[in-house]
Amino acid sequence: MTKFKALIVHASEFGSTKEVAHVVAEEFFQKGFDVKIENAAEVKQIKQYDAVIIGAAIHYDKWMKEARGFIKRFEQELSTKQVAYFFTCLTLVKARQKDLNKVMKYSNDILSSSLKIKPISVGAFAGVLDYTRMKHFNKFVAKIVFTLLKIRPKDYRRWGEIYHWINETIDAVKKNCYITSNEN
Ligand SMILES: Cc1cc2nc3c(=O)[nH]c(=O)nc-3n(C[C@H](O)[C@H](O)[C@H](O)COP(=O)(O)O)c2cc1C
């Protein structure tokens, strides 16, 4: 039986979203997919993939530009594949109602970056605040902003939630891949 192929694409300034992307890739591999993982800015083509999972950090209230650029470049092809998005951010750390509203806005902005692509789901995860990974301007801004917000440096990723999303996404991708391959 031919294996379904998944491409995991990431855009990550300080590495924590890339680490999540690697876990996504590992889970797809464990569930029987052929998997490739690539930096969003470096992807040349996506023709052979049945599923494409795109994950990026939120920086300055936006999904990283490399992820947005990837969607722009491959919009037409992505509209014919199984797609899921995820993002990491620190707005989810406190998770008050106003934070959840902001996270909902992040999701909606990502969804509205293409109306042709119909993703299976959008995963939103708390990320990492680690000043030792940052340099110069980002470090300066982040220290001011997150000190004011009373968010201290820490790995806020909740791996249970992340694995739950990945496995739900894999189940949906598999189901749709089987339906699509039987139609052809
Ligand atoms: C310069 C900078 C800007 C950020 N802007 C936001 C933001 O607007 N909203 C948010 O929720 N998190 C923001 N974050 C938090 C990041 O989304 C979080 O730290 C994420 O885990 C970083 O992922 P990365 O390690 O893959 O770059 C920002 C972090 C930095 C350092």
Could you give all domains of the chain from N- to C-terminal order, each with its CATH number? 5-183 (3.40.50.360)
Mutate to test the pocket of ligand 1, among 13, 59, 106, 151 (most ligand atoms within 8 A of CB): 59
Give percent above pLDDT 70 in the chain. 99
Q: What is the pLDDT of residues 118-133, one digit of tens each?
A: 999 999 999 999 999 9
Q: Which residue is closest in CA terms to ligand 1's atom 17? A: 89
Q: Can you give the three-state secondary structure of the chain, one letter per residue?
A: CCCCEEEEEEECCCCHHHHHHHHHHHHHHHCCCEEEEEEHHHCCCCCCCCEEEEEEEEECCEECHHHHHHHHHHHHHHCCCEEEEEEEECCCCCCCHHHHHHHHHHHHHHHCCCCCCCCCCEEEEECEECHHHCCHHHHHHHHHHHHHCCCCCEECCCHHHHHHHHHHHHHHHHHHHHHHHHHC
pLDDT at 184: 60
Mutate to test the pocket of ligand 1, among 16, 18, 89, 149 (most ligand atoms within 8 A of CB): 89
CA of residue 99 to ligand 1 center, whole Å:
14
Distance CA 102, CA 1 (A): 44
Full-model pTM: 0.95
